[in-house]
Structure 1
Amino acid sequence: MPELPEVEVTRRSFADAITGAHIEGITLGKPLRWPLGCDPQELVGQEVVGLRRRGKYLLADTSQGLLLLHLGMSGSLRFSHGLPVPGVHDHFDMATNRGTLRLHDPRRFGAVVYTKGEHDPVASRLLDGLGMEPLSHSFSLATFQAGLKKSRMPIKQLLLGGKLVVGVGNIYASEVLFLAGIRPTAPASRIGPARARKLHEAIVSVLARAVEMGGSTLRDFSSADGMAGHFQTQANVYGREGAPCHVCGAPIRLLRQGQRSTYFCAQCQRA
């Protein structure tokens, strides 16, 4: 599943190219997770004035509204001139005078939704429950510590939930907790100030490094210009069950939490 680093890498790969583009046509394929929310013709003639990100949503500001794009479980975007004829898994094409933006999504859990703005009820329903952005100055340590204290959930489950901080997906949660030296099953409320600070720093460090490396490509993720990610090649624990820990040499362990795979080192993550 594309997580925050993959979505941010995707945004950066075509944000400059699409900003200022004029929409010339919309082609829809099979239904996605949610309907577009307007007649496609309503978008024709509008200008794309910017491309932002909130959590795992890309927000394309237009001259009259806001287009929200979500990659779901298996989605990816392409932005280019001369794309081939849409295939069976291509479900949204937005033709502009600078190229065509295409959503490819084999499982169709992704979405493209048009609203009148970020405060539109539809947009609010999708965005208002999201936690702090870990790669922005709004990622407050004090607010993060307070959120930990309020939760009895295992720390990894809290991180995955996205209500305290967004973007710490399954791969990155395992890596973050290893870097912070915290066992994934530790109750969030029992993490003290010193460990909370270390965890806060680890979230920023791991996600920033993942973005620099183009995200993680475990199956078929690539950015809008076709580039694969490489973060997974330098993972400390994720996907390394039984392999020796890079720090202490103990075998990396695997456990299941909420039907998700969690990788950790029992020696380095004792707390």
Structure 2
Amino acid sequence: MPELPEVEVTRRSFADRIAGARIEAVRMGKPLRWPIGIVPDELVGRTVLAVRRRGKYLLLDLDSGVLLVHLGMSGSLSFAPAQPDAGTHDHFDLMTTKGVLRLNDPRRFGAVVFAQRVDSPEAVKLLGRLGVEPLTDDFDAAGFHAALKARNAAIKQVLLAGDIVVGVGNIYASEALFLARIRPTIKASRITKPRAARLWQAVRDVLARAVEKGGSTLRDFSNADGQAGYFQLEAMVYDRAGEPCRVCGTTIRCIRQGQRATYFCPICQKS
């Protein structure tokens, strides 16, 4: 599924181009995960001021209200001066004076939700429990360690929960734990301050590198210009079960944690 780097890459690929656009029409396809929360025609005439990101949500700030967009498990956005006729999996078109923003989502776990403000109940329900943004100054090593000390769950699961630090999805959690030399099954509360500092830095480095490389395209991710990502080509452990570790040569292992695949090196990540 699209994770923080893919969502940020998507945002960057169309945010400047859609800023200042006036909405001319809205087309809705099959129902998505949640109802939009507004009569679509009521969006006509409003202006897109900017596009922000919070975790895995894109926030389209309007001159009146905000649209929260989530890509779900398989969604992608495209933005172009014109779009072809809507296909089976094209479920939302925002037609503006600067182009058409289209959400394609084969599995329909994505969503487009309208809220009057980011502190409105609809927005707070989706955003209110999200942790700090990992690529901002709000994410500090000391606070991260303190939060980990209060958790007895496995560190991989704590990272995925998203309420301490947001957006560290399955791919990047495995990669950050490898970089920090921490076994994914260790309890978060057992991680010492120096090791937590290593993991803090690894999370920032891995996510920043993934954004730089355009995200990861394991199946069908592309940004709003249709461009694929390339981070997966340099992954150290993710999706490399049975292959030699790039550092020590030991065979990479895969285990299941919370129904998600976890990849690690049993030597580089002894504890």
TM (norm. structure 1) is 0.99
Q: Equivalent residue of 2:27, what SS?
A: strand
Unmatched runs of 5 consecutive residues or more in structure 2: none
Measure the CA separation in 2 of the matches of 1:139 and 1:19. 28
AA in 2 matched with 1:240:
R
CA displacement at 1:42 relative to structure 2: 1.2
Moved more, 172-181 or 140-149: 140-149
What corresponds to 2:177 in structure 1? 177
User: Deviation at 1:82?
Assistant: 1.9
Structure 2 residue aligned with 1:15 = 15
Deviation at 1:12, TM superposition (A): 0.2
Aligned pairs for 1:158-173 (under 5 A) are: 158-173=158-173
Give the length in aligned residue pairs.
Answer: 271
SS of equivalent to 2:196: helix
Aligned match of 2:265: 265
Q: Secondary structure at the match of 2:126?
A: helix
Cα distance in structure 2, aligned partners of 1:204 and 1:238? 17
Which range is displaced more, 56-65 or 240-249?
A: 240-249
Distance 1:197 1:53 in 2: 25
Matched residue, 1:228: 228
CA deviations over 1:93-138 (Å, ceiling 9, x no partner): 0000000000000000000001101011110110010001001111
Shift of 1:81: 1.2
State the distance in 1 between where 2:213 and 2:207 align: 10
Cα distance in 2 for residues equivalent to 1:27 and 1:239: 37
Q: Hey, what does 1:140 align to over in structure 2?
A: 140
Deviations 1:12-47 (A, max 9, x none): 000000000000000000000001100111110000
Does the residue aligned with 2:6 lie in a helix, a strand or coil? helix
Report the AA paired with residue 49 of structure 1.
Answer: L
User: Corresponding residue for 1:60?
Assistant: 60
Structure 1 counterpart of 2:91? 91
- Tell me, yes or no, if structure 1 residue 213 matches structure 2 residue 218: no
Which stretch of the first structure deviates more once superposed, 139-148 or 190-199?
139-148
1:18 maps to a residue whose letter is: I
**Deviation beyond 3 Å, 4+ runs, structure 1:** none
1:130-172, CA deviations, whole angstroms, 9 ceiling, x for partnerless residues? 0010011111222211110000000000001101111111111
Rounded to whole Å, the distance in 2 between the matches of 1:15 and 1:136 is 19
State the partner residue of 2:104: 104
CA distance in 2, matches of 1:239, 1:92: 32
What's the CA shift string for 1:211-235, capped at 9, x where partnerless?
0000000110000000000001110
RMSD over aligned Cα atoms? 0.5
Structure 1: distance between partners of 2:39 and 2:147? 41
Partners of 2:255 and 2:27 in 1: CA distance: 44
What TM-score does the superposition give when structure 2 sets the normalisation length? 0.99
- Match for 1:260: what amino acid? R
SS of 1:153's equivalent in the other structure is: coil
